[in-house]
């Protein structure tokens, strides 16, 4: 994608774990079998909101085959993704706050015995009022879910204002104001939460878990178990998807550790699909009152946002997502006047958390829909309005966010050209339509999960003739291909084949520290650490090669497995010969690299959230067919143009973009967790919770626009979360183009389409 010449970067490479997966030999957490291993099961609350009066576990403890029973009071230490404000314990202690919350757990020699033991545990409750919507939870007289929260059931709230918002609206040529509502959706990763804990006779804890954040889990285990971190070892086997849902410590991990310590035997706790829905941490439903103004030419004058976020029972990532939502109002367009008021509310539902594209999907749905509507009211193409408001190659938002590189305008231009949008918009037969939307996302973050200023990513590369190139990095491959990306960068830097790079990752004892896989951070952050380590190795090797070749080190380069003179190509030697000479003279050859993103913040609440080393951009055009007899919406064609910088592996980029589009399609048209008034989940399974299947997938065409971020490793940026942002509004804008109905709530089901068409006919 640039004039730069690479050997490995920019080529389609097979993921490191692909052969094992293809052969069925890949090991996941549930595949782990240890001698004397017990099976853990969790007793869950029958109430969505109640005080725990008593728990009697005596009958369960007496059952033959039961080796340990634990209750919440045995692990009273609170934990949470925000260290300053923890809200959760491993199991409920005095109160339950959602139906299905863990109240006790059992480890037994057989799963059936464990299940039987759960039935023998007697829990007495005092029921409390149940709130399954935000308005009831914050109504006058509502019982607080967390008595120590000084704002009742308002978990967090924040206001931000930049520019002169009211004055800008007064001077606007056109202003529209609407309320948008998003749905309660889950990640639906294929592998459920799985953990195996082994507490040995030396007092050491070993854990295998399908987590996205092994080093964070390590920290939380130390806190909850009251153990030194040096006594804990977390290993991540293959992970069958995360998408944010495994981006914090999960109950099953903590409970497995507690049971293992008590039983002095290994314990496995793997969730059923229903339990995955109870653990949740999916996307926040938000009710958004949004106001937007434009001048006569279509330039945005102001945005006013008032959002009510349904956070579920606990804090989790809530405050971070609240402020990310605020940050997402400023890009990818030039906006000089912005007001944000957001509240995250506690409700008696499974807790919401970080889901792919966290903080951006909901406001992007509202804002891109409004821009489409404003353009039509102004009598111009939505493309024209969005292009003239799009940021330039460099931009600083009114909130102080620095965008060092953007090709968003190019994304808009190329997706419109490739899709034929201008020839189709407003010109197709009734029932057929096209919609345009754009978006962006961070490529890593300056925000850290730890109260620490240590580097966010570190890498160690070791060279020797016995094992070749060993790259150790704490970044976790959760199926997104990070091991492949880091190995490709390492290979390119050292001038060696991709196949020769061995990667050790996701292991807190055998790989150095990394924040984890979230916020599309690994390519830029861990990639920078790998590149630094590789550069240090080259600096050590070249002087040795220079002596052997009879020339200066600064006249040498690496490539194709050799070290050669940049002036006289016949002067060269095998790379590994130089390594052997170095080791013979100096001993082991290794180097470390680290990365800390630029630290930026504003002097306002939430001013440290939203900053990123760099940003990826994307623009989409969806084409739909709406069956006016059945109400079914079918996405038939889909075009995307993305600025991900230099694609490291183009095939992998294509897969990431397509995955984002399909995931967002689900939220737009099918997916919604439904609940009864007393807080029970109605569809916690993959039969009743509808997700897109192969028959629903449109013809998708993706395009990586010409782009290169000079300050990123090999010019790369994110590609896995930005493309989820515009999908929903692109589809809903296309529905409007098809039938003249603008939907403001998700999902757009056939029933809603038929009702809207009937109402339109009556009008």
Note whether 134 and 286 are within 8 A (CB).
no
Q: Which of 311, 265, 253, 282 is nearest to 42 (CA)?
A: 253
CA distances from residue 282 to 53, 101, 247 in whole angstroms, order as listed: 31, 16, 11
CA distances from residue 362 to 175, 184, 429, 564, 668 in whole angstroms, order as listed: 20, 11, 30, 53, 11
Report DSSP state, residue 388: H
Helix or strand holding residue 625 (H, E): strand 615-626
Using alpha carbons only, how large is the chain's radius of gyration in Å?
27
Question: In terms of DSSP bridges, do strands 589-595 and 457-464 run parallel, antiparallel, or are they unpaired?
Answer: antiparallel
- Measured distance CA(675)–CA(185) in Å, rounded: 12
Report DSSP state, residue 713: G
- How open is the CA angle 677-682-685, to the nearest 5 degrees? 155
Query: What pLDDT is stored for residue 451 in this prediction?
Result: 60
Q: Is the pLDDT of residue 35 over 90?
A: yes
What b/e readout covers 646-664, taking b as 16+ CB neighbours within 10 angstroms?
A: bbbbbebbbbbbbbbbbbb
- Measured distance CA(739)–CA(748) in Å, rounded: 13
- Measured distance CA(360)–CA(50) in Å, rounded: 34
- Measured distance CA(741)–CA(624) in Å, rounded: 13
Q: Is the pLDDT of residue 601 over 90?
A: no
- How open is the CA angle 105-111-114, to the nearest 5 degrees? 35
- Measured distance CA(69)–CA(41) in Å, rounded: 10
Note whether 278 and 680 are within 8 A (CB).
no
Q: Which of 449, 133, 454 is nearest to 317 (CA)?
A: 449
The reply to whether omega before 332 is within 30° of 0 (cis) is: yes
Q: What is the pLDDT of residues 239-283, one digit of tens each?
A: 999 999 999 999 999 999 999 999 999 999 999 999 999 999 999
Note whether 735 and 741 are within 8 A (CB).
yes
Q: Which of 195, 189, 233, 236 is nearest to 26 (CA)?
A: 236
Q: Is the pLDDT of residue 729 over 90?
A: yes
Q: Both tokens of residue 122?
A: 């007697």
Query: What pLDDT is stored for residue 466 in this prediction?
Result: 87
- Measured distance CA(433)–CA(372) in Å, rounded: 13
Q: Is the pLDDT of residue 3 over 80?
A: no
What b/e readout covers 361-382, taking b as 16+ CB neighbours within 10 angstroms?
A: bbbbbbbbbbbbbbbbebeebb
Note whether 292 and 369 are within 8 A (CB).
no
Q: Which residues contact 450 (CB under 8 A, 6 or more apart)?
A: 83, 216, 219, 515
Q: Model pTM?
A: 0.96
Helix or strand holding residue 167 (H, E): helix 165-170
Q: Is the pLDDT of residue 450 over 80?
A: no
Identify the bridge partners of residue 155 per DSSP, sorted by sequence position.
none
Mean pLDDT over each residue of the chain, to the nearest integer: 96
Note whether 354 and 247 are within 8 A (CB).
yes
Q: Both tokens of residue 330?
A: 């400023």
Identify the bridge partners of residue 257 per DSSP, sorted by sequence position.
none
Query: What pLDDT is stored for residue 84 in this prediction?
Result: 81
Domains of the chain: 18-26+454-595 (3.30.365.10), 32-128+190-241+246-279 (3.90.1170.50), 360-446+603-762 (3.30.365.10)
Query: What pLDDT is stored for residue 763 in this prediction?
Result: 67
Query: What pLDDT is stored for residue 600 in this prediction?
Result: 83
Q: What is the pLDDT of residues 627-664, one digit of tens each?
A: 999 999 999 999 999 999 999 999 999 999 999 999 99
CA distances from residue 480 to 76, 220, 475, 652, 654 in whole angstroms, order as listed: 35, 24, 11, 8, 12
- Measured distance CA(564)–CA(572) in Å, rounded: 4
Of 125-129, 383-387, 569-573, the least confident: 569-573
Tell the residue number behind the tokens 């310590």, with chain if given: 261
- Measured distance CA(196)–CA(216) in Å, rounded: 17
Q: Which of 707, 745, 469, 497 is nearest to 590 (CA)?
A: 469
Q: Which residues contact 744 (CB under 8 A, 6 or more apart)?
A: 178, 179, 180, 181, 369
The widest CA-to-CA distance across the chain, in whole angstroms, is 89
- Measured distance CA(617)–CA(405) in Å, rounded: 10
Report DSSP state, residue 192: P
Q: Is the pLDDT of residue 400 over 50?
A: yes
Query: What pLDDT is stored for residue 1 in this prediction?
Result: 45
Tell the residue number behind the tokens 């403001």, with chain if given: 744
Give the phi and the psi of residue 277 in degrees, each rounded to 5: -65, -30
Query: What pLDDT is stored for residue 452 in this prediction?
Result: 66
What b/e readout covers 706-720, taking b as 16+ CB neighbours within 10 angstroms?
A: ebbbeebbbbbbbbb
Tell the residue number behind the tokens 């059952």, with chain if given: 63
Q: Which residues contact 586 (CB under 8 A, 6 or more apart)?
A: 540
Q: What is the mean pLDDT of residues 85-110?
A: 97
3-state SS, residue 592? strand
Q: What is the per-residue DSSP string for 12-73? A: ----TTHHHHHHT---BGGG---TT-EEEEEEE-S-SSEEEEEEE-HHHHHSTTEEEEEEGG
Q: What is the pLDDT of residues 548-566, one digit of tens each?
A: 999 999 999 999 999 999 9
The reply to whether omega before 540 is within 30° of 0 (cis) is: no
């Amino acid at each position: 994608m640039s004039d730069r010449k690479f050997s490995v970067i920019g080529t389609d490479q097979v993921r490191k774990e692909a052969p094992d997966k293809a052969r069925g030999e890949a090991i996941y957490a549930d595949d782990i079998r240890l001698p004397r291993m017990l099976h853990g099961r969790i007793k869950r609350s029958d109430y969505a909101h109640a005080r725990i009066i008593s728990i009697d576990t005596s009958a369960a403890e007496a059952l033959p085959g039961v080796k340990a029973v634990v209750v919440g009071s045995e692990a009273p230490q609170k934990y949470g993704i925000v260290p300053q404000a923890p809200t959760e314990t491993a199991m409920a202690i005095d109160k339950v706050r959602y139906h299905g919350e863990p109240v006790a757990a059992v480890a037994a020699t057989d799963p059936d015995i464990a299940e039987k033991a759960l039935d023998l545990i007697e829990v007495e409750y005092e029921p409390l009022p149940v709130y399954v919507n935000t308005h009831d939870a914050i109504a006058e007289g509502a019982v607080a879910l967390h008595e120590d929260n000084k704002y009742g059931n308002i978990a967090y709230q924040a206001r931000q204002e930049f520019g002169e918002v009211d004055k800008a609206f007064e001077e606007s040529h056109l202003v529209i104001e609407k309320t948008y509502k998003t749905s309660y959706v889950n990640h639906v990763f294929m592998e459920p939460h799985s953990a195996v804990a082994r507490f040995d006779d030396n007092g050491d804890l070993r854990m295998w878990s399908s987590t996205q954040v092994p080093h964070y889990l390590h920290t939380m285990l130390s806190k909850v178990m009251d153990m030194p971190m040096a006594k804990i070892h977390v290993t991540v086997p293959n992970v069958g998807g995360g998408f944010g849902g495994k981006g914090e410590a999960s109950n099953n991990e903590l409970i497995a550790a507690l049971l293992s310590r008590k039983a002095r035997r290994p314990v496995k706790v793997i969730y059923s699909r229903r339990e995955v829905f109870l653990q949740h941490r999916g996307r926040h439903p938000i009710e958004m009152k949004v106001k937007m103004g434009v001048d006569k030419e279509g330039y945005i004058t102001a945005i006013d946002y008032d959002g009510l976020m349904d956070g579920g029972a606990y804090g989790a990532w809530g405050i971070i997502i609240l402020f990310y939502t605020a940050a997402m109002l400023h890009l990818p367009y030039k906006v000089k006047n912005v007001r944000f008021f957001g509240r995250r509310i506690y409700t008696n539902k499974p807790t919401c958390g970080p889901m792919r594209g966290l903080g951006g999907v909901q406001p992007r749905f509202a804002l891109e829909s409004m821009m489409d509507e404003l353009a039509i009211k102004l009598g111009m193409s939505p493309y024209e309005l969005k292009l003239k408001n799009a940021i330039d190659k460099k931009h600083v938002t009114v909130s102080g966010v620095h965008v060092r590189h953007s090709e968003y305008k190019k994304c808009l231009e190329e997706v419109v050209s490739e899709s034929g949008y201008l020839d189709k918009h407003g010109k197709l037969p009734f029932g057929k339509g096209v919609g345009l939307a754009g978006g962006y996302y961070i490529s890593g973050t300056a925000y850290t999960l730890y109260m620490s200023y240590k580097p966010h990513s570190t890498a160690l590369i070791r060279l020797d003739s016995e094992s070749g190139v060993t790259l150790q990095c704490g970044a976790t491959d959760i199926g997104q291909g990070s091991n492949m990306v880091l190995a490709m960068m390492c290979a390119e830097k050292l001038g060696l084949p991709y196949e020769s790079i061995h990667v050790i990752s996701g292991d807190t004892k055998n790989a150095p520290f990394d924040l984890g896989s979230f916020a599309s951070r690994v390519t830029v952050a861990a990639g920078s650490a790998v590149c630094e380590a590789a550069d240090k190795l080259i600096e050590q090797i070249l002087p040795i090669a220079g002596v052997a070749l009879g020339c200066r080190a600064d006249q040498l380069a690496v490539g194709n497995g050799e070290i050669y003179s940049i002036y006289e190509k016949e002067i060269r030697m095998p790379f590994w010969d130089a390594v052997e000479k170095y080791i013979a003279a100096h001993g082991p050859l290794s180097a470390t690299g680290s990365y800390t993103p630029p630290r930026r913040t504003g002097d306002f609440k939430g001013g440290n959230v939203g900053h990123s080393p760099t940003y990826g951009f994307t623009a989409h055009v969806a084409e739909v067919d709406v069956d006016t007899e059945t109400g079914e919406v079918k996405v038939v064609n889909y075009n995307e143009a993305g600025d991900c910088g230099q694609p490291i592996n183009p095939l992998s980029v294509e897969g990431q973009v397509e995955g984002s589009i399909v995931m967002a399609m689900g939220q737009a048209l099918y997916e919604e967790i439904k609940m009864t008034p007393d807080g029970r989940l109605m569809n916690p399974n993959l039969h009743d919770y509808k997700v897109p299947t192969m028959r629903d997938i449109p013809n998708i065409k993706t395009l990586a626009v010409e782009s290169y971020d000079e300050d990123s490793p090999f010019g790369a940026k994110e590609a896995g979360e930005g493309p989820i942002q515009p999908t929903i509004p692109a589809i809903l804008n296309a529905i409007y183009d098809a039938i003249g109905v603008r939907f403001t709530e998700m999902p757009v089901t056939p029933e809603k389409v038929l009702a809207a068409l009937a109402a339109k006919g009556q009008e």
